[in-house]
Amino acid sequence: MKMIIAIVRPEKCQAVKDALKAKGVNGMTITHVVGRGTQAGIKFTNRIGDFLVDEIEKIKIEVVIEDDSNEECVIKTITDTANTGKPGDGRIIVVPVEKFLQIRS
Ligand SMILES: Nc1ncnc2c1ncn2[C@@H]1O[C@H](COP(=O)(O)OP(=O)(O)OP(=O)(O)O)[C@@H](O)[C@H]1O
Ligand SMILES: [Mg+2]
């Protein structure tokens, strides 16, 4: 079992959810997060001076996949959907999952 953690642009979240649903991936956790990547933020310049925004809003999507053979499909689905080709498209992290229990049963 794996957990795929995708950090994507907020405006891409709905498309990623829809694309995953189309692939039969229903369960997920979504969190509104802030962060920064390789560029350590975005620098803005105006009349007053330079400003660094280093807490950029992103959406974190966590999906546990019980069948490891689905890993590449889920990664490709997210990547194809969330990619714009510009800096800030996000990251995907894959971590092993020891247990994944359903409380109801
Ligand atoms: N090393 C890291 N550790 C934890 N989270 C990270 C790391 N790098 C990026 N992130 C998370 O991913 C988000 C998006 O990062 P971003 O897409 O800017 O990555 P990047 O490596 O800078 O890629 P790009 O060069 O395409 O911008 C960040 O806001 C942060 O939440
Ligand atoms: Mg970046």
DSSP result, 55-75? -EEEEEEEEEESSGGGHHHHH
Token representation of residue 1: 């079992």
Name which of 5, 99, 1, 2 is nearest 59 in CA terms. 5
Q: Which atom of ligand 1 is nearest to the CA of 58?
A: 29
Asked if residue 2 lies in contact with residue 94, where contact means CB atoms within 8 angstroms, the answer is yes
pLDDT digits (tens, 9 = 90+) for 43-61: 999 999 999 999 999 999 9
CATH 3.40.50.300, applies to 2-30+58-96: no
pLDDT digits (tens, 9 = 90+) for 11-30: 999 999 999 999 999 999 99
CA distance 89 to 68: 25
CA distance 68 to 23: 15
Q: SS3 of 101, please? A: coil
Instruction: Enumerate residues lining ligand 1, CB below 6 A.
Output: 7, 33, 35-39, 56, 58, 87-91
This prediction's pTM = 0.95
| 24 Cα: distance to centroid of ligand 2 (angstroms) | 30
| 82 Cα: distance to centroid of ligand 2 (angstroms) | 14
